[in-house]
A and B are shown apart, each in its own frame.
Chain A
């Protein structure tokens, strides 16, 4: 079977999203919906573009896309309301 090869290694946009980086980290963020006021600070700082404030019914809070989250902890560190806690993934627990 012949593969398709783009002229001059030109690439289509946003193909990185095929790569799920969610298994990179040891920790993962957990958002406390009660404490979160939807200020979007975490969203603005997340290097992996995987935490986003969403409106769910009446509520508005940050939702993590664990497919991509690398567990860096930046979101937790910048949240003005301490609404995010980093937790160790089960597989790293001894």
Chain B
């Protein structure tokens, strides 16, 4: 059923259809209305047997999900920015405990200065946690991704947390027509959660044990192996989703115009606009293609090597910075294709803290690279020249 809804609702409604047992969250802009929508559903008795808990903090919310997930529940939370960072100690812990927690991060900049606007600095700070990360382009993809996230996370070959990243404001607050899923369809796609091991007095296992040096490393290797298996599991799940829903969002990356000489690489909602920009530039005669990275963790190494093997120039648009180096997506892409592609890499940090990225701005970046006006390396784009002064 197609309906014009806001991004929050597309997420909340999809979460409901996945029949979680425990939902626990703390409000933060621009995630707030996701949890408000879920709270309203709970108040109206629409969440079945689920418990919806208003936490005292994001740290508390994540902690409750650890307990609930270990006890065998399917769980959900949503957060972003300061909230995600506040959760981070718990989330690193949850990943090591191999708990298939699903969360939505409505990407937002990090303080200071305080900013409620969109970039990817928050989720990038979590990249080493052992949490799967998928970035969606629009609200339909966000809506569709929730059941897939559960299916991947709960797969016995994986068992790691899954974070669906959607751009704050740009998606959360946008009205878009979304084909809302049917309960029966989701039920048949996503069976009830059967935990691999859970807390029960019938079989009293201990969760969260500590590991001395003689055994710690093995558990971390096991996490890496689970991430590697997740790559295949995701592809299976993505494919199955395309079949049952009729919407094929592609694999770990999608490639428009694979035979191009120049590629723009980006994640999240900006991809929609880039698609138009690329089309226009191609009409001007530029050989430019577009790569959308959907899965950031596990990182699509082989896919990028294949897609970029004959590329001459690669433009990476990062929405965050690893201060002292450059944008994380670009760092990772470079290391992935090293030895497999001789393309020059142009790495740009753009749109930090909600800085506008209009069509012309994006087109100019690509055109300048194409015309040799830029040098390979790292630069910020779209900021005012300044001189820092001490007041």
- B338 adjacent to chain A (CB < 8 Å): no
In the complex, what distance in Å separates the CA atom of A8 from the CA atom of B208?
7
B98 cross-chain contacts in A, Cβ below 8 A: 7-8
Which of B47-55, B199-207, B361-369 binds A? B199-207
Beta-carbon contact of B218 and A10 below 8 Å = no
Beta-carbon contact of A10 and B96 below 8 Å = no
Q: Which of A8, A11, A12, A13 contacts B96 (CB 8 A)?
A: A8
- A3 adjacent to chain B (CB < 8 Å): yes
Within 8 A of B (CB), among A1-31: 3, 5, 7-13
Per-position contact with A for B217-255: 1 when CB-CB < 8 Å, else 0?
011001000000000000000000000000000000000
- Report the minimum CB–CB distance from B328 to chain A (whole Å): 27
Q: Which of A3, A5, A10 contacts B205 (CB 8 A)?
A: A10
Within 8 A of A (CB), among B167-207: 196-197, 204-207
A8 cross-chain contacts in B, Cβ below 8 A: 96-99, 159, 207, 219
In the complex, what distance in Å separates the CA atom of A7 from the CA atom of B197?
9
26 chain-A/chain-B pairs, Cβ below 8 angstroms? A3-B218, A5-B215, A5-B219, A7-B98, A7-B159, A7-B222, A8-B97, A8-B98, A8-B99, A8-B219, A9-B208, A9-B209, A9-B211, A9-B219, A10-B197, A10-B205, A10-B206, A10-B207, A10-B209, A11-B205, A11-B209, A12-B205, A12-B206, A13-B204, A13-B205, A13-B206
How many chain B residues touch A (CB < 8 A): the figure is 19
Residues of A within 8 A of B (CB): 3, 5, 7-13
B222 cross-chain contacts in A, Cβ below 8 A: 5, 7
In the complex, what distance in Å separates the CA atom of A11 from the CA atom of B96?
14
B209 cross-chain contacts in A, Cβ below 8 A: 9-11
Per-position contact with A for B133-169: 1 when CB-CB < 8 Å, else 0?
0000000000000000000000000010000000000
B196 cross-chain contacts in A, Cβ below 8 A: 7
Closest to B203 in A: A13
B97 cross-chain contacts in A, Cβ below 8 A: 8-9
In the complex, what distance in Å separates the CA atom of A9 from the CA atom of B218?
10
- Report the minimum CB–CB distance from A2 to chain B (whole Å): 11
Closest to A9 in B: B209
Closest to B94 in A: A8
Beta-carbon contact of A11 and B218 below 8 Å = no
In the complex, what distance in Å separates the CA atom of A9 from the CA atom of B212?
11
